């Protein structure tokens, strides 16, 4: 099976503010991902594309363009040929994908400079093909508007808290795993979900406790341990404060 995309080259650039790349073109398609830094790119048509951290600018085959950096930043450039007419048409309709949110796409874009050392030509072809299709899918599914900056960090934290009930991680631990500061995570979470992280965690654990009280024969001590409470007393105190009744009375009713 032949890949619809053929890998040519990938290379990263570290660029300083004020850097200018004169008008030029390539005989292949090019995607320039900007994990940091901001600037502008001008096309031969006169159109100016502004880019910032998290944006990927797409240049068509033979399309003249330049680039000027307004602040220090990094470019990850990927160049490739396209052998599928439908895919070529879709790529030609794009010029920039803004504020990329998908963690898997970001990981591939940031790690792609190592592909040349690790993969065969066929493997690189299929990896780039998958990356391009993922970028186009993200663009298509976010036409209604991009989430606010940091949205995916808050969602990731919510997933962790919802799945790790018995041993709930601290805010500091979640922030470390996601890759941001604890204070920033608290701010993002409250902004997105209108509830604090600790309060959300407590709600999820009490929700699980109610299910166990209703549908299991577990003792209160076992339920408190299963739901991440320090001891049975702490569980009963939190449960009564939220529901107005003790776990025992809740189960009887």
Q: Residue 115: its pLDDT value, please?
A: 65
CB atoms near residue 191 (< 10 Å): 12
Please give the tally of structural domains in the chain: 2
Query: Does 10 lie in the same domain as 88?
Result: yes
Nearest-CA neighbor of 135 among 9, 31, 29? 31
CA angle 12, 145, 131 (to 5 degrees): 35
Q: Residue 146: its pLDDT value, please?
A: 47
Query: Does 162 lie in the same domain as 116?
Result: no
Asked, for residue 67, whether it belongs to a domain, the answer is yes
User: Could you list the residue range(s) of the whole structural domain that residue 128 is in?
Assistant: 5-140
Query: Does 72 lie in the same domain as 53?
Result: yes
Say which residue the tokens 């300083």 belong to.
Answer: 16
Mean pLDDT score, 229-253: 91
Asked, for residue 73, whether it belongs to a domain, the answer is yes
Asked whether 171 and 198 are in contact (CB, 8 A), the reply is yes
CATH number at residue 34: 2.60.120.810
Count the helix, strand and coil residues of the chain and give each as a percent rounded to the nearest 5: 50, 20, 30
Asked, for residue 10, whether it belongs to a domain, the answer is yes
pTM of the model: 0.56
Query: Does 106 lie in the same domain as 10?
Result: yes
Task: For residue range 142-197, list pLDDT tens digits in order.
Answer: 654 445 567 778 888 888 888 889 899 999 999 988 888 888 899 888 888 888 99
CATH number at residue 199: 1.10.10.60
Burial of residue 124 (CB within 10 Å: 0-12, 13-18, 19+) is: buried
Q: Residue 27: its pLDDT value, please?
A: 93
Query: Does 136 lie in the same domain as 11?
Result: yes
Residue burial 195-219, b: 16+ Cβ < 10 Å; e: rest: eebeebbbebbbebbbebbeeeeee
Q: Residue 169: its pLDDT value, please?
A: 93
CA dist., res. 200 & res. 90, Å (int):
42
Query: Does 82 lie in the same domain as 128?
Result: yes
**For 16-118, where are the E strands, in sequence order?**
20-24, 29-36, 39-42, 48-51, 55-59, 65-69, 73-82, 96-97
Domain termination site, one of 140, 172, 190: 140
Task: For residue range 119-141, list pLDDT tens digits in order.
Answer: 678 888 888 888 888 888 877 76
Which one-letter DSSP state was computed for residue 43? B
Report which of residues 115 and 92 the model is more confident about: 92
Nearest-CA neighbor of 20 among 53, 78, 65? 65
Q: How many whole angstroms from its chain centre is CA 149?
A: 10
Query: Does 128 lie in the same domain as 25?
Result: yes
Domain termination site, one of 140, 170, 203: 140
Domain termination site, one of 113, 140, 167: 140
Asked, for residue 83, whether it belongs to a domain, the answer is yes
Query: Does 204 lie in the same domain as 185?
Result: yes
Query: Does 134 lie in the same domain as 19?
Result: yes
Q: Residue 133: its pLDDT value, please?
A: 87
Query: Does 171 lie in the same domain as 102?
Result: no
Average pLDDT, the chain: 85
């Amino acid at each position: 099976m032949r890949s619809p995309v053929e890998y040519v080259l990938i290379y990263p650039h570290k660029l300083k503010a004020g850097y200018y790349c004169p008008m030029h073109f390539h005989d292949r398609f090019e995607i320039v991902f900007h994990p940091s830094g901001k600037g502008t790119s001008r096309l031969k048509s006169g159109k100016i594309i502004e880019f910032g951290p998290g944006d990927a600018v797409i240049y068509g085959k033979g399309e003249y363009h330049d680039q000027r950096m307004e602040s220090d930043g990094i470019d990850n450039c990927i160049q490739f040929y396209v052998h599928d007419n439908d895919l070529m048409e879709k790529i030609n309709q794009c010029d920039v994908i803004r504020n990329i949110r998908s963690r898997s796409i970001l990981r591939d874009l940031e790690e792609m400079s190592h592909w040349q050392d690790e993969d065969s030509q066929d493997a690189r072809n299929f990896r780039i093909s998958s990356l391009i299709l993922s970028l186009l899918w993200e663009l298509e599914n976010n036409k209604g508007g991009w989430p606010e900056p940091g949205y995916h960090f808050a969602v990731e934290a919510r997933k962790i808290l919802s799945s790790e009930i018995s041993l709930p991680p601290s805010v500091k631990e979640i922030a470390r795993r996601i890759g941001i500061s604890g204070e920033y995570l608290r701010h993002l979470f409250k902004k997105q979900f209108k509830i604090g992280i600790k309060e959300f965690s407590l709600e999820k654990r009490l929700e699980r406790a109610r299910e166990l009280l209703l549908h299991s024969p577990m003792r209160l001590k076992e339920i408190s341990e299963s739901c991440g409470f320090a001891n049975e007393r702490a569980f009963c105190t939190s449960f009564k404060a939220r529901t107005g009744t003790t776990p025992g009375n809740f189960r009887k009713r």
